[in-house]
Structure 1
Amino acid sequence: MPDLTLDELARILRDCAGEGESAGRDGEFADLPFTDLGYDSVAILETAARLKQEYGVVLTDDEVMEIGTPGRLLELARRQIAGAS
């Protein structure tokens, strides 16, 4: 399984949003709220489903909605991936 990087998370977010969002184009991406990046709750929940499918990351809907930023999502996902190894 490949490492989950910020660039990979940005790709998944863009795929799930169905648009050419600006995810991952600058260093501030990780710390910006999903809403500021233009991602709605449906895109974030779909991203969580993709993380489960591709990386085995399991997050509840409540966890996903409370995460807030791509950086925090990446941190939680990496923690789960590391724990599963």
Structure 2
Amino acid sequence: MATEAFTLDDLKAILLEAAGADEAVDLDGDILDTEFEALGYESLALLETGGRIERTYQISLDDDALTGAVTPRALIDVVNAQLSAATSA
């Protein structure tokens, strides 16, 4: 299991693996507070992304928390909270 913090670079890599990228969106820009929908990722892509995060980091993401995380910053916070809980358990 990974013990390091989940970063924006980690998220971008998983998003690209899970759903690719919209050519009109620059994922290397300042996207932390941009809604996933504006980045070209709909709910199905985010569910796949969440599944990949769970498998890679051996954590469980609450469906409500996952769907409520509408920006990369919010999703990173949710993942890091779960990682922290998993390492302190």
TM-score, scaled to structure 2: 0.81
Q: Distance in 2 between matches of 1:23 and 1:52?
A: 25
- How far has the Cα of 1:62 moved from its partner? 2.7
Relative contact order higher in (CA < 8 Å, ≥ 6 apart):
2
The aligned amino acid for 1:15 is: E
Q: Distance in 2 between matches of 1:44 and 1:35?
A: 10
After superposition, the CA RMSD in angstroms is 1.7
How do residues 1-85 of structure 1 correspond to structure 2 at under 5 angstroms? 1=2, 3=4, 4-17=6-19, 19-21=20-22, 22=25, 24-26=27-29, 28-85=30-87
> Hey, which of these two has a bigger chunk of helix by percent?
1
Unmatched runs of 5 consecutive residues or more in structure 2: none
The aligned amino acid for 2:54 is: K
The aligned amino acid for 2:45 is: A
Deviation string 1:6-26 (CA, Å, 9 cap, x unpaired) is 101111011111x23446402
- Identical amino acids, percent of aligned pairs: 33
State the number of aligned residues.
83
The runs of at least 4 aligned residues of structure 1 exceeding 6 Å deviation read: none
TM-score, scaled to structure 1: 0.85
Higher Rg of the two aligned structures:
2
